[in-house]
Amino acid sequence: MQRLLGTSPAHTDAADLAYTDPLTGLGNGRRFFDKIERLIDDRAEDPAPFAVGILDLDGFKPINDLFGRGAGDEILQQVAMRLRAAMDGQATVARVGADEFAFLYPLVFSEDAVCEKARMLIEILSAPYDVGERTARLSASAGCSLFYSGEDTTDLLVSKAETALYHAKRSGRGRVAVYTREMEEAAKRVTRIEQALRRAVSAGEVEPHFQPIVDLRGRRVIGFETLARWTDRDLGSVSPGVFIPIAEERGIIGPLSQLVLRKATEAARDWPSDMFLSFNLSPSQLVDHNTGLHILSILRRTGFDPRRLEIEITETGLMTDPASAEKIVADLRSVGIRVALDDFGTGQSSLGRLRDFHFDKLKIDRAFVASILEDRPSEHIIRAILAMCEGLGMDVVAEGIEAEAQADKLIAFGCGGGQGFLFGRPHDAETTLRFLRDSLAAPLRKAG
Ligand code: C2E
Ligand code: MG
Ligand code: MG
């Protein structure tokens, strides 16, 4: 340590502390930057590359909440110990954020080699952690970058590793990525969309569109799913498949969702009173304890009956922080809001979850519906899902129905509800209201 800090007699224990993370005893961010700086100086005459990386624990926060802060600290100490033990002679590891660690490999010269190292670290961290009587499991993601020339400064190297980490995290848990220029471009595009979206949300420019959900047998519209739509002056129309994940990631999903729900409930007040409104909640909203309060306060303000509202959530949303999701779902159900499990069959479907959580409805993902005509396995899966829902007393809606033959088959299997382009595409509030007024199948009985 003394060597690292230099030999100046001015160095004291206090200076030492300034470079050490008190919880884990590893070096801190300052020490890490310092080390890179020195290595860059050393390599001024020597063209050999070296590698840095940032490692971020996936889903540490829910573990912290679940096991308690003390246990969280203990896990971080164990993580630090494992990482330190994995460093060979020249390599260093530091703790640079709450659940972020950084490593420096002076003798790693290629992208493949640093990937290999990072994968090994992730592997080491994936073994279970003892926390008192219990064990916890963690995964981690890593982003790496290589120093190739004197043009790379410490800041640049670290920021490249961060860009790569961001990329790794976006593509799932437990991944490793090495910085490329394309990542930088992609990250810039995301930031552009984020900024435009922030502006649009504060200007109230995201609109709800509504797609009909029908009773399959009678072909009667029984409700609508709200789907957010956004057209930006410069970017044009941006699909929710793009802007919703960005809104989640950058913390805009709360205000965006509140805006869309307010507009949607205002529109749905004018629909026949037996028609429900369905609304998607993002996984990150099921981690935020204020979500329930926000929804209820919007319903109160717009005067929309909570018993006409249905919330769609996905399995991913339940996995991130099951305890918090359960609390939010229970709060919503206690005022009569119905809860649907969306996109069933695509994620890490767990039947256990269907037992622990009570859902009012299950939506079969359109991937199954799309292949129902050609593919025997899909057919069997749909039949099994339908039988299960019947047993559990859940309603079912098959998503993405585009052809009559698909609808016929689903009816023959006993599927009650359907949604898809065959019955109608999503339309704005005005068009939806006009459709309802004109529709003979659903004569308009205006609510209160
Ligand atoms: P989702 O909730 O599964 O919504 C159904 C998606 O399938 C919609 O895509 C809809 O337009 C599309 N779809 C419906 N019928 C058909 C069909 O017959 N064929 C095909 N090929 N597609 C069909 P969209 O509007 O692009 O939305 C994508 C996803 O974005 C939604 O998937 C939902 O997860 C999310 N999303 C949309 N609006 C919101 C929102 O307000 N809040 C949140 N949190 N997520 C939203
Ligand atoms: Mg949905
Ligand atoms: Mg869906």
pLDDT digits (tens, 9 = 90+) for 248-266: 999 999 999 999 999 999 9
**Closest C-alpha to ligand 1, atom 12:** 400
Percent of the chain whose predicted confidence (pLDDT) is above 70: 94
State the average pLDDT over residues 47-75. Answer: 90
Q: Ligand 1: which residue has its CA nearest to atom 33? A: 280
Of the pLDDT bands very low, low, confident and very high (cuts 50, 70, 90), residue 74 is very high
For residue 421 and ligand 1, the question of a CB distance below 6 A is answered with: yes
Ligand 1 and 284: CB distance under 6 A:
no
Q: Is 12 in the pocket of ligand 1 (CB under 6 A)?
A: no
Enumerate residues with CB within 5 Å of ligand 3 (an ion): 342-343, 399
pLDDT recorded at residue 440: 52
Residue 319 · residue 326 · CB < 8 Å: no
Give me the residue label for tokens 């256990």: 352
350 Cβ neighbours under 8 A, 6+ residues apart? 315
| pLDDT at residue 5 tops 60 | no
CA-CA distance, 144 to 152, in Å (whole number)?
14
Provide the angle, in degrees to the nearest 10, between the axes of the packed helices 154-170 and 29-42.
120
**Cα–Cα distances in Å, from 119 out to 6, 55, 172, 312?**
33, 10, 14, 36
Q: Which two tokens stand for residue 346?
A: 């695509």
pLDDT over 50 (residue 181): yes
Pocket test for ligand 1, best of 227, 239, 246, 341 (most atoms within 8 A of CB): 227
Alpha helices in 25-68 (DSSP H): 29-42, 60-67
Say if ligand 1 is within 6 A of residue 227 CB: yes
Q: Are 432 and 425 in contact (CB under 8 A)?
A: no
Q: Are 304 and 336 in contact (CB under 8 A)?
A: no
At residue 330's C-alpha, the angle toward residues 329 and 335, to 5°, is 100
271 CA to middle of ligand 3, Å?
23
Check pocket membership of 241 for ligand 1, CB cut-off 6 A. Answer: yes
Give the pLDDT score at 410. Answer: 97
Q: Which two tokens stand for residue 9?
A: 């007699």
* Nearest alpha-carbon partner for 308 in 280, 276, 338: 276
Report the atom number in ligand 1 closest to the C-alpha of 260.
Answer: 41
CB of 318 closer than 6 angstroms to any ligand 1 atom? no
Most confident region among 284-293, 305-314, 354-363 by mean pLDDT: 305-314
CB of residue 104 inside a 6 A radius of ligand 1 = no
**Straight-line distance from the first to the last Cα atom of the chain, in angstroms, rounded to the nearest whole number:** 75
* Cβ partners under 8 Å of residue 17, min gap 6: none
Average pLDDT over residues 287-300: 94
Model pLDDT, residue 159 = 95
- Asked if 286 contacts 28 with a C-beta cutoff of 8 angstroms, the reply is no
Which runs of E-coded beta strand occur in 189-243?
207-215, 220-232, 236-238
**Residue 258 contacts by C-beta under 8 Å, 6 or more apart in sequence?**
294, 298
Distance 379 CA to ligand 1 centre (A): 23
Atom number of ligand 1 nearest to Cα 421: 18
pLDDT of 444 > 60? The answer is no
The Å distance, Cα 342 to ligand 3 centre, comes to 5
Q: Rounded to the nearest 5°, which phi and psi values hold at 369? A: -65, -40
Q: How far apart are CA 179 and CA 160, in angstroms?
A: 6
pLDDT at position 88: 87
DSSP 130: E
Determine if ligand 1 sits within 6 Å of the CB of residue 65.
no
Q: Residue 342: CB within 6 Å of ligand 1?
A: yes
What's the pTM? 0.82
- Which residue type does 112 have? D
In this structure, which amino acid lies at residue 237? S
29 burial type by CB count under 10 A (0-12 exposed, 13-18 middle, 19+ buried): middle
Give exposure, 343-354, as e/b (b: 16+ Cβ within 10 Å). Answer: bbbebeeeeebb
Cβ-proximal residues to 90 (8 Å cutoff; 6+ apart), any chain: 105, 106, 107
Q: Find where tokens 């929309």 sit.
A: 304
Say yes or no: CB of residue 297 within 6 Å of ligand 1. Answer: no
Retrieve residue 444's tokens. 């308009």
**Better-predicted residue by pLDDT, 176 or 316:** 176
**Residue 10: per-residue pLDDT:** 46
Give me the pLDDT at residue 16, please: 79
pLDDT above 90 as % of the chain: 75
Q: Please name the residue that has the structure tokens 């956004």.
A: 230
Query: CB of 240 closer than 6 A to ligand 1?
Result: yes
Residue nearest to atom 43 of ligand 1 (CA): 280
Report all structural domains of the chain as residue ranges with CATH numbers, in order of start: 2-179 (3.30.70.270), 206-439 (3.20.20.450)
Q: What is the pLDDT of residues 303-358, one digit of tens each?
A: 999 999 999 999 888 887 888 899 999 999 999 999 999 999 876 667 777 887 88
The answer to whether the CB of 429 falls within 8 A of the CB of 210 is yes
Q: Average pLDDT, stretch 93-103?
A: 97
| Pocket mutation for ligand 1, best pick of 265, 280, 419 (most atoms within 8 Å of C-beta) | 280
Higher pLDDT, 368 or 142: 142
Q: CA distances (Å), 372 to each of 198, 216, 218, 354, 425, in order?
A: 40, 16, 21, 23, 21
* Closest ligand by atom to 229 CA: 1
Q: Which ligand is nearest to the CA of 244?
A: 1
What pLDDT does residue 349 have? 67
Q: Is the pLDDT of residue 396 over 60?
A: yes
Give the model's confidence band at 209: pLDDT under 50 very low, under 70 low, under 90 confident, else very high.
very high
Contact 397, 363 (CB under 8 A): yes
Which residue's alpha carbon is at the smallest distance from atom 7 of ligand 1? 400
Helix or strand (DSSP H, E) at 394? none
- Ligand 3 centroid, distance to 398 Cα (angstroms): 9
